[in-house]
Amino acid sequence: MSSTPLSAPRSDPVFGPIGLGCVTFGREIGETEAFALMDHAVSCGVRLLDTAAAYGDGASERIVGRWCAARSSSGSRVIVATKVLPPYTPANLSAVVQACRQRLEPARIDLLYLHRWDETLEAPGALETLEEIASSAGITWLGASNFTLGQLDRALQRQRAAGLRPFRVVQNNHNFAVRALDDELLAFCAAQGVAPVGYSPLGAGFLTGKHRAGVVPGSRFDVIPGHQRIYFTPEARARLARLEDVAQRTGHSQVELALAWALRRGAVTVLVGGRDRSHLDQALAAVEFRDHAALAALDDVP
């Protein structure tokens, strides 16, 4: 398997190597725990807070908004990203973005993603409406999440042909087992000026090996069964076996290796979520991982 050579992590000038994923807020952890996690993230230099309208049916956005209100006097400027689901009709786009803004108040949306590809994006007026919304709401960046290279390329071509602001960020699944930010897409991003952001660096727990004997009750694979069809494949299981082998031979933990691998894959900003500060701390530690031979051994896969 060919792959991009591993290098030291290159921080995006805006987002940095790590962003805080807020998917657990209001679903797996409450407001008190979420506030503590955001406080810790900012104290460690993390500036990107990534949420979505779909996270906890809006609960995550509300928690992020209340945290921003409570910390408004601290002087800490964070970048707030959120995502909206299809359909991307003009009427629905206007309504769902307005709802996001209300839940996040007083925080401003800095980065707005379309949460996944949908054919309604190709209907007349969809991209134009997105541009109008971004301009009127003071949104700095537009992003595409869970888009393939072909889908992103088509959207960018249409935006540029119409004189609209292009997508500047793409956010996809990004881990050692399942790579939706593959080498071809990363090369495309570099050429087009699109910042890649990756989520699930541990595969929602898959790469820790916790589901070897079956789905752990109460885990994300249990709460969101859709994860099972993504990771319970022969290819992903083979990658997990490789990770386990390299971890055993090198003495590094699977978590350490998986996080370091994700952080050293080009210029990707890696979103790290969790239920407490220890999950963020292990990712921050992985930024300093220096055993390049161990990481190279991971990619020595037929």
| Three-state SS sequence of 22-59 | CCCECCCECHHHHHHHHHHHHHCCCCEEECCCCHHHHH
Expressed as residue numbers, the domain containing 128 is 18-298
Distance CA 11, CA 7 (A): 12
Question: Is residue 63 in some structural domain?
Answer: yes
The pLDDT assigned to 2 comes to 34
Band (pLDDT 50/70/90 cuts) for residue 271 is very high
Question: Is residue 168 in some structural domain?
Answer: yes
The answer on pLDDT for 23 being more than 80 is: yes
The pLDDT assigned to 3 comes to 41
Band (pLDDT 50/70/90 cuts) for residue 266 is confident
Tens of pLDDT, residues 279-301? 999 999 999 999 999 999 998 75
Question: Is residue 9 in some structural domain?
Answer: no
When divided into structural domains, the chain yields a total of 1
The answer on pLDDT for 226 being more than 80 is: no
Average pLDDT over residues 182-207: 94
**18, 279 Cβ separation under 8 angstroms:** no
Q: Could you tell me the sign of the dihedral formed by the alpha carbons of 87, 88, 93, 99, in that order?
A: positive
The answer on pLDDT for 224 being more than 80 is: no
Question: Is residue 12 in some structural domain?
Answer: no
Which letter does DSSP use for residue 157 in this model?
H
Tens of pLDDT, residues 107-145? 999 999 999 999 999 999 999 999 999 999 999 999 999
Report the amino acid identity of residue 279.
H
The pLDDT assigned to 210 comes to 81
Of the ranges 7-21, 85-99, 181-195, 264-278, which one carries the lowest mean pLDDT score?
7-21
Question: Is residue 22 in some structural domain?
Answer: yes
**Cis, bond preceding 87 (omega within 30 deg of 0):** yes
Q: CATH number of the domain at 238, please.
A: 3.20.20.100
The pLDDT assigned to 14 comes to 53
Q: Tell which residue, 196, 218, 203, has the closest CA to residue 265.
A: 196
Q: What is the mean pLDDT of the chain?
A: 91
Question: Is residue 235 in some structural domain?
Answer: yes
Question: Is residue 8 in some structural domain?
Answer: no
pTM of the model: 0.92
The pLDDT assigned to 114 comes to 98
pLDDT above 90 covers what percent of the chain?
Answer: 81
Question: Is residue 13 in some structural domain?
Answer: no
